[in-house]
A and B are shown apart, each in its own frame.
Chain A
Amino acid sequence: KNEVEQSPQNLTAQEGEFITINCSYSVGISALHWLQQHPGGGIVSLFMLSSGKKKHGRLIATINIQEKHSSLHITASHPRDSAVYICAASLTGTASKLTFGTGTRLQVTL
């Protein structure tokens, strides 16, 4: 069993829909990251959070430490949001090495 699990693996939405991607982890972490991988392959960091909630534009990330669960929400989705979204955990005591989920492939259609 992976230490970081994401769901769903694939997601198709229509433009304007509210999207939620989930991430669960089974070990102690110092931080939880959300990254975006563009269709061309480049990876960028979206959020790093250790508690609560963060918002950037139409993206919102939340984390519940007690439940070992994080969510990434996209409001008013747009075709340019189509990408793979990756959850990664900085495990406690691992010199900030990241353990990655397998990613959620999102396609937003018109």
Chain B
Amino acid sequence: NAGVTQTPKFRVLKTGQSMTLLCAQDMNHEYMYWYRQDPGMGLRLIHYSVGEGTTAKGEVPDGYNVSRLKKQNFLLGLESAAPSQTSVYFCASRRTGGFEQYFGPGTRLTVT
């Protein structure tokens, strides 16, 4: 099993450009999460999903959109990137009834 994978690993965007980050998991987990990690701050939840076709806002959702059309995939979109969105983005998944979250390797995004 690959576990949780993220695509791409690195990306540089110019202000105003758009992009989509893909998270895929092969563990049949219901719950999926997108976090961002910034220096000096803990991981912060952007959006999450409790199942296929559902999404919900987390702590810092502004400027991001998400979709969960298939159970195994959770997409994070930036419609108009801003320098404040420079960060490392982590995806995680969890099975129903479990507490442990399984993390992807992260995507380092720089917006210039």
Contact = CB atoms under 8 A, between A and B. Distances in A.
Interface string A1-35: 01010000000000000000000000000110100
Nearest to A95: B50
Contact of B58 (A97, A102, A103): A97
A96 B105 contact: no
Nearest to A87: B42
B94 interface: yes
B74 interface: no
Contacts of B31: 95-96
Given A41-B106, A43-B90, A96-B94, A4 B50 contact: no
A90 to B, nearest CB: 6
Given A42-B106, A48-B99, A48-B100, A102 B48 contact: no
Contacts, number: 51
A98 interface: yes
A98 B105 contact: no
Interface in B46-73: 48, 50, 58
A100 B88 CA distance: 15
B103 A103 contact: no
A45 B92 CA distance: 11
Interface of A: 2, 4, 30-31, 33, 41-45, 48, 86, 88, 90, 95-103
24 contacts: A2-B42, A4-B42, A30-B99, A31-B99, A33-B99, A33-B100, A41-B105, A41-B108, A42-B103, A42-B106, A43-B90, A43-B92, A43-B103, A45-B102, A48-B100, A95-B31, A95-B48, A95-B50, A96-B31, A97-B33, A97-B48, A98-B43, A100-B42, A101-B42
